[in-house]
């Protein structure tokens, strides 16, 4: 028998035998490997099997996952974190903004004038790029620098996985993972950071769901918009004593709508677009340990705050340039901004917004923080209010709500515009910083596009419906 012949025969025999070994060969092999590994460790590792009389971990676990105390403890902690963030961020925020906007900006303008810089270069660089960047930094940095370390401390202590444990059942109904509660909470600080935080979800499908729906958590950059618009349009409807309460209530309603959208969209995605993604739930509840405070503050500042801030700065600079350019480039004697506003106005009005708001959301895509200043600047530009604002392409804000209301009403804003702006601020594409982060995290253009198009389509739909109902009611 020649060797070639033998080889043929062996292969033939093997080919016939493969039907005999059964469908689970690989599984049995794997199981045997794991079992062997486990047996070896059991032999060399001695464990203290006796359960101690008092186990601190177990006691804490009983408390934070108990039927009666579990949820109150969770809400209390969340409220404390938010309260510390909001009150703590006020002072540094106003310091930064007076430094950047009231001191540095005029100083730069003067220096440019002294150096004899061409008007368009001065406008593009200082009024466009610098101002956008300064605005983003001063509004974004302080709350993030407080929120993220606090959140990381809770994570380090080991409490956050218990939150996921308590809430998982509801997320499961929406096809999501309990840990999505954590990425949502992180999203209230910053959506880009929330998207990065989805790394804690190790099941591919659930992670994508958490990534695509993070935008429905109202981020730090959108809270001021909500509060401002609620105060001047909705709070003013109530008697002065109740105004604060009513406007706060309406902001809360938007936040809750966001939570509702998160569950609804998660449910929809897990049954349609993401049906095919692999999924495997697992949730480890690590032992508690004293948080390492200094290390936590350091890493959360470096890993979360600075990375996100840097991305926001990188995106806000070109956006600042775009904002200035659309206001200063003219086609046929009229500025590009006015052309665009006129072009989008019919659609904007149809859905109860207007051309200015749509354009502002397009050119202020890098950060939600600069949407209101852009809206104000564009409104003054398109209505042509003399002596108001800082000039074409220069973003600004008023100190008083009534001055803001005056400018907006001059452009025909109504209660409907206010309500729809609040809704659209929740339901629109994520800022470019978040989109870039989604693209980095998923490595997929498809999912990045989906995460942008889905909320914006929902926003148009919701605004359109609200506008129809509002007009039908004769508002």
Partner 1 sequence: MIELTGPILAVSAALAIYFLLRPGRGWLERWRRRLRLSDRVLSEDALKHLYHCEYEQRVATVQSLSGALGTPVEKVAGLVQRIEAGELATSEGASLRLTPKGREYALRIIRAHRLWERYLSEETGLKEPDWHKRAEQQEHRLTSSEADALAARMGNPPFDPHGDPIPTQRGQLPPRRGQPLTSLEVGERARIAHLEDEPEAVYAQLVAEGLHPLMVVQLTHLSAERICFWAEGEEHVLAPIVAANVAVVPLPREQPVEESLESLAVLEPGEEATVVGLSPNCRGLERRRLMDLGLLPGTVVTAEMRSPVGDPTAFRIRGALIALRGQQAANIRISSRRQVA
Interface positions with partner 1 (CB under 8 A): 15-16, 18-19, 21, 23-27, 30-31, 34-35, 38, 47, 51, 58, 61-62, 65-67, 70-71, 120, 165-170, 172, 178, 203-205, 274-287, 328-333, 336
The rounded distance, in Å, linking the Cα atoms of 269 and 164 is 20
Which DSSP string do the residues of 180-231 spell out, in sequence order?
HHHHHHHHHH-HHHHHHHGGG--SHHHHHHHHHHGGGS--TTTHHHHHHHII
- Least separation, in Å, of the C-beta of 177 and partner 1? 10
Determine the 3-state secondary structure of 290 from DSSP.
Answer: coil
Q: Which is nearer to partner 1, 23 or 387 (CB)?
A: 23
- Determine contact, residues 431/371, Cβ cutoff 8 Å: no
* Residue 35, Ramachandran bin (φ over 0: left; ψ between -120 and 50: alpha; else beta): alpha
The rounded distance, in Å, linking the Cα atoms of 26 and 455 is 44
Q: Which is nearer to partner 1, 240 or 332 (CB)?
A: 332
Q: Which is nearer to partner 1, 116 or 276 (CB)?
A: 276
- Least separation, in Å, of the C-beta of 331 and partner 1? 5
The rounded distance, in Å, linking the Cα atoms of 122 and 394 is 12
Cα-Cα end-to-end distance for the chain: 97
State the pairing for strand pair 330-331/334-335: antiparallel
- Least separation, in Å, of the C-beta of 282 and partner 1? 6
Taking alpha carbons only, the member of 227, 216, 84, 76 closest to residue 143 is 84
Q: Which is nearer to partner 1, 41 or 400 (CB)?
A: 41
Residue 8 CB neighbour total at 10 angstroms: 11
Say which residue the tokens 């209101």 belong to.
372
Which DSSP string do the residues of 335-384 spell out, in sequence order?
EHHHHHHHHHHHHHHHTTS-HHHHHHHHHTTT-GGGHHHHHHHHHHHHHT
Q: Which is nearer to partner 1, 178 or 235 (CB)?
A: 178
- Least separation, in Å, of the C-beta of 284 and partner 1? 6
- Least separation, in Å, of the C-beta of 11 and partner 1? 9
- Least separation, in Å, of the C-beta of 88 and partner 1? 31
- Least separation, in Å, of the C-beta of 149 and partner 1? 26
Q: Which is nearer to partner 1, 201 or 254 (CB)?
A: 201
Q: Which is nearer to partner 1, 173 or 440 (CB)?
A: 173
Q: Which is nearer to partner 1, 169 or 443 (CB)?
A: 169
- Least separation, in Å, of the C-beta of 218 and partner 1? 25
Q: Which is nearer to partner 1, 381 or 426 (CB)?
A: 381
Say which residue the tokens 């004038």 belong to.
113
- Least separation, in Å, of the C-beta of 54 and partner 1? 16
The single-letter DSSP state of residue 146 is H
Phi, psi of 273 (to 5 degrees): -55, -40
The rounded distance, in Å, linking the Cα atoms of 214 and 192 is 9
- Least separation, in Å, of the C-beta of 23 and partner 1? 4
The rounded distance, in Å, linking the Cα atoms of 309 and 315 is 10
> Over the range 59-97, which residues count as b (16 or more CB within 10 Å of their CB) and which as e?
ebbeebbeeeebeebbeebbeebbeebeebbeeebeebb
Q: Which is nearer to partner 1, 7 or 330 (CB)?
A: 330
């Amino acid at each position: 028998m020649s060797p070639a012949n033998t080889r043929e025969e062996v292969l033939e025999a093997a080919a016939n035998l493969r039907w005999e070994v059964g469908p689970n060969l690989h599984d049995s092999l794997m199981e045997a490997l794991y079992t062997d590994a486990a047996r070896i460790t059991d032999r060399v590792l001695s464990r203290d099997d006796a359960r101690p009389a008092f186990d601190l971990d177990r006691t804490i676990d009983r408390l934070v996952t108990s039927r009666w105390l579990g949820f109150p403890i969770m809400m209390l902690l969340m409220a404390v974190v938010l309260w510390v963030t909001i009150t703590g961020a006020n002072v540094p925020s106003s310091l930064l903004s007076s430094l950047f906007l009231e001191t540095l900006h005029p100083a730069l303008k003067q220096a440019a004038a002294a150096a004899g810089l061409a008007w368009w270069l001065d406008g593009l660089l200082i009024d466009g790029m610098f101002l956008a960047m300064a605005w983003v930094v001063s509004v974004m940095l302080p709350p993030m620098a407080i929120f993220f370390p606090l959140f990381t401390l809770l994570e380090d202590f080991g409490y956050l996985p218990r939150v996921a444990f308590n809430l998982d059942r509801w997320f499961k109904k929406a096809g999501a993972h309990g840990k999505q509660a954590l990425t949502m909470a992180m999203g209230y600080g910053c959506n880009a950071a929330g998207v990065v935080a989805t790394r804690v979800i190790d099941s591919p499908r659930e992670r994508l769901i958490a990534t695509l729906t993070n935008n429905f958590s109202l981020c730090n950059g959108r809270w001021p918009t909500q509060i401002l618009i609620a105060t001047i349009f909705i709070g003013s409807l109530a008697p002065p004593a109740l105004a604060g309460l009513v406007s706060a209530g309406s902001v809360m309603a938007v936040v809750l709508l966001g939570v509702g959208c998160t569950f609804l969209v998660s449910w929809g995605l897990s049954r349609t677009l993401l049906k095919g993604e692999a999924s495997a739930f697992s949730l480890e509840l690590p032992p508690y340990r004293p948080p390492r405070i200094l290390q936590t503050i350091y890493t959360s500042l470096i890993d979360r705050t600075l990375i996100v801030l840097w991305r926001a700065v990188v995106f806000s600079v070109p956006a600042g340039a775009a904002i200035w350019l659309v206001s200063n480039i003219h086609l046929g004697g009229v500025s590009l901004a006015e052309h665009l506003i006129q072009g989008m106005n019919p659609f904007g009005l149809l859905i109860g917004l207007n051309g200015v708001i749509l354009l502002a959301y397009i050119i202020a895509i890098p950060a939600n923080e600069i949407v209101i200043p852009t809206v104000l600047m564009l409104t003054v530009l398109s209505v042509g209010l003399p002596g108001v604002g800082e000039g074409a392409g220069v973003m600004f804000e008023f100190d008083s709500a009534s001055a803001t209301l005056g400018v907006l009403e001059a452009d025909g804003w109504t209660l409907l515009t206010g309500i729809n702006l609040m809704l659209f601020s929740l339901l629109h594409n994520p800022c470019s910083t978040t989109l870039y982060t989604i693209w980095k995290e998923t490595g997929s253009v498809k999912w990045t596009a989906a995460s942008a198009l889905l909320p914006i389509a929902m926003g148009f739909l919701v605004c359109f419906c609200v506008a129809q109902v509002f007009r039908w009611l004769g508002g």
